[in-house]
Amino acid sequence: MGNQLAIELVGITKAFGTKVVANKNVNMDLREGEILSILGENGSGKTTLMNMIAGIYTPDSGKIIVRGEEAVIKSPIDAFNLHIGMIHQHFKLVDLFTAADNILLGERMPDDYGKGPKFFRWIKFNHLSRDRVKKLQSTVDQYGFGIDLSRKIYDMSVSEKQTVEIIKVLYRGADILILDEPTAVLTPQEIDKLFAVLRKMRDEGKSIIIITHKLNEVMAISDRVCVLRKGEHIATVETAKTTEKELTDMMVGQKIDLNINRELPDNPKPRLLIRDMSVVNKEGRTVVNKVSFDVCGGEILGIAGISGNGQKELLEGIAGLQPKASGDVIFHNPKRDRPVTFYHHDLKKIKAMAAEGRFHYPNGERVDLTNIKNKEIIRLVEDEQILFYEDEIIDLKDKSPREIQELGIKLSFVPEDRLNMGLVGSMSIVDNMMLRSYRKGNSVFVNRKRPKQLADDIIRDLEVVTPNDMVPVRRLSGGNVQKVLVGREIASSPKVLMAAYPVRGLDINSSYTIYNLLNSQKQRNVAVVYVGEDLDVLLALCDRILVLCGGQVSGIVDARKVTKEEVGLLMTKVPDKIQNYTYEEMQEKGEDNG
């Protein structure tokens, strides 16, 4: 056992459209009776490659050789006939059925089954006979899954559902198993259990491919590791003969100089203080775990991490969009020496604040409103004569998402589905411009004059390719949609701008337009949070990088000093000692350099 090849891939290439090459000339092999890890960053083509083996995609060119014979796998049924089974990240189970029924579902009756007319045999096979369930239970016991197959799927935990999926594939006779990020949904204990099962299956002679991007798991489970980067096969190495460091180097590759303009932050002051933020998602899993950090005005803080490690939830938590977020978010509103307005405060509140001594007159004198008439106060406020003494400190914990927005904390979240997070696809560019601002004023009618002006400005300044400003945004290409979205957020003169994956799917030129926009915001003393996936960009654009791993901060590092490998390592593993590079250090360095 161990040397015959179960699968061999020769020169596999797969492209989507003309631009995106998901896999380029990949050569890879899987031996019988081994566990092979496929390691790579997001978008490195892991899942696409596996989907080609499982018959979901067909390769554009190249050969798939299964057990020494060339195979054409055009559909999952072909893969099934070759005894290849894939367990996807999203389970394909019928909730209302028992585990046994899910596993047996769709099985054909053998011709020699039972006696009598076909119809009665069919009834017996499908509805009466329990011997199939017994056979199933024996399979289950053989591997020590420890699961009761008579339970309904809706009663099961995620880990149990996954087990059912695995049993399903095994029962159908697969001896080559592909697991797509099986550990992403599991707790550490469940992962240990899964690994035990996988090892047992390997010892039975099954060949297993496991897709993952967690290094410690790779080291723990696999016999060999195959590293992909940007669609290309980098190397396949024996796990025992490699180190985590070496794997990270292969995964992230050489540093590329991007020539993004980056200036030292000018006197960064903390703008947003996040303390012990935790977020529990709908399924009850803790996706953000006691995260604490500061964001300063005038810096770009990058957030690195493999996608799904809590980036989205963290930003949503700050923006007040996560109902189950705990912890404190303190916002330092840069109000010092700025006039107070009636936009956020009413007369009563202003009086109370004055009594606390929070205002001063332009000449520096403290404001005392106790003996001044209301009318006079209104005049003073409207003439911008009452100025803040210090920055306003606001706890965002009990503010609504709308109030948080109106304070100038903008979240421009850009996942794959741009049109559903921040834009309305069927509306024109002009109408999309109004989304943030349409509430202003007391009129019951919307005013499209200023949004139209803004739309035209954005189209001109950011070179949005569109016939006119009344085109529904869903007709625009991805890059142009992105420009519209980011342009709008920036136009609202934010104080904190959180942009998640703003360049995903954009071409080089559009990406640089976005980087320049973020840089110009930084120069305007805005606190910019940039969630990105391309480490080269993060290292070139940001001032500091916060690395998330499993919802925890695994380090806050100096983007000017850190190497790609260090960030890569932090992304896959939380170190014992967590580095926290702060703005004070940054300032000292700035003085040194200056």
Partner 1 sequence: MDNNSKHVREPLVHLTRRLNVSARFAWLIRIGAFVLSILVCCLVSCLLSGKVSFGFFFKHLFEGAFGSGMLVRALLRDLSILLLLALAVTPCFEMRYWNIGGEGQAMMGAFGCALIVSYTSGKMPVWGTIVLSFVTALVMAVIWAVIPALFKAKWNTNETLLTLMFNYIAICLGAYLIKKVVPMGTGILNFDSGTLSSLGSGDFWIIVSAAVVMTVVMFVYQKYSKHGYEISVVGEAPNTARYVGINTKRVVVRTLFLCGLISGLVGFLLVSVKDASFLSDSTMQSTVAGRGFTAVLISWLAHFHPLAMVLTSFLVVFITRGATQVGNMARLGNSYAGMMVGIFFFFIIATEFFINFKIHFRPKAEKKPHETAPTEPEQKPVARDPE
Of 421, 478, 573, 587, which one interacts with partner 1 (CB under 8 A)?
421
Please give the biggest Cα pair distance in the chain. Answer: 104
Coil, helix or strand at residue 317? helix
What is the distance, to the nearest Å, from the Cα of residue 590 to the centroid of all Cα atoms in its chain? Answer: 32
491 touches partner 1 (CB under 8 A): no
Residues β-bridged to residue 29: 8
Rounded least distance, CB 401 to partner 1, Å: 4
Coil, helix or strand at residue 433? helix
Identity of the residue, 439 or 450, whose beta carbon is nearer to partner 1 in the bound complex: 439
Rounded least distance, CB 140 to partner 1, Å: 29
Of 8, 60, 78, 244, which one interacts with partner 1 (CB under 8 A)?
78
CA angle 204/205/209 to nearest 5° reads: 115
6 touches partner 1 (CB under 8 A): no
The stretch near partner 1 (CB under 8 A) out of 77-85, 235-243, 263-271, 556-564 is: 77-85
15 touches partner 1 (CB under 8 A): no
Of 427, 477, 478, 563, which one interacts with partner 1 (CB under 8 A)?
427
Rounded least distance, CB 63 to partner 1, Å: 13
The stretch near partner 1 (CB under 8 A) out of 142-150, 435-443, 564-572, 583-591 is: 435-443
Report the C-alpha gap between 275 and 136 in whole angstroms: 50
Q: Which of 573, 553, 574, 552 is nearest to 219 (CA)?
A: 573
Q: Which of 390, 385, 332, 379 is nearest to 356 (CA)?
A: 390
387 touches partner 1 (CB under 8 A): no
Q: How many residues bind partner 1 (CB under 8 A)?
A: 34
Q: Which helix (H) or strand (E) holds 61?
A: strand 61-66
431 touches partner 1 (CB under 8 A): yes
Contact pattern from residue 341 through residue 380 relative to partner 1, giving x for each residue in contact according to CB under 8 A and a dash for the rest: ----------------------------------------
298: left (phi over 0), alpha (psi -120 to 50) or beta: left
Rounded least distance, CB 79 to partner 1, Å: 10
Q: Which helix (H) or strand (E) holds 235?
A: strand 232-238
444 touches partner 1 (CB under 8 A): yes
| Contact of 471 with 483, CB cutoff 8 Å | no
Rounded least distance, CB 483 to partner 1, Å: 17
The stretch near partner 1 (CB under 8 A) out of 67-75, 186-194, 206-214, 581-589 is: 67-75
400 touches partner 1 (CB under 8 A): yes
Residues in Cβ contact with 519 at an 8 Å cutoff, skipping those fewer than 6 apart: 260, 261, 262, 263, 300, 541
Identity of the residue, 77 or 196, whose beta carbon is nearer to partner 1 in the bound complex: 77
Of 285, 439, 450, 561, which one interacts with partner 1 (CB under 8 A)?
439
Rounded least distance, CB 436 to partner 1, Å: 6
Of 277, 303, 423, 548, which one interacts with partner 1 (CB under 8 A)?
423
- Which pairing describes strands 552-558 and 544-549: parallel, antiparallel, or unpaired? antiparallel
335-360 as b/e: b if 16+ CB within 10 A: beeebbeeeeeeeeebeebbeeebbb
- Residue in the structure block whose two tokens are 């100096």: 558
For the record, the structure tokens of 553 come out as: 């901060």
**Subset of 282-321 contacting partner 1 (CB under 8 A):** 321
Report the C-alpha gap between 586 and 545 in whole angstroms: 12
81 touches partner 1 (CB under 8 A): yes
450 touches partner 1 (CB under 8 A): no
Report the C-alpha gap between 162 and 468 in whole angstroms: 50
Rounded least distance, CB 321 to partner 1, Å: 7
Rounded least distance, CB 319 to partner 1, Å: 8
Fill in the amino acid letter for 276: D
Of 126, 267, 420, 516, which one interacts with partner 1 (CB under 8 A)?
420
Rounded least distance, CB 121 to partner 1, Å: 25
Give the ranges where 21-174 is alpha helix by DSSP (H).
Answer: 46-53, 76-81, 99-104, 118-123, 131-143, 158-171
DSSP string, 265-297: -SS-EEEEEEEEEEEE-TTS-EEEEEEEEEEEE
For the record, the structure tokens of 275 come out as: 């303390």
493 touches partner 1 (CB under 8 A): no
Contact pattern from residue 118 through residue 147 relative to partner 1, giving x for each residue in contact according to CB under 8 A and a dash for the rest: ------------------------------
What is the DSSP code (8-state) at residue 191?
H
Rounded least distance, CB 215 to partner 1, Å: 34
**Terminal alpha carbon distance of the chain:** 65
Residues that bind partner 1 (CB under 8 A): 71-74, 77-78, 81-82, 321, 400-402, 405, 411, 413, 419-427, 431, 434-436, 438-439, 443-446
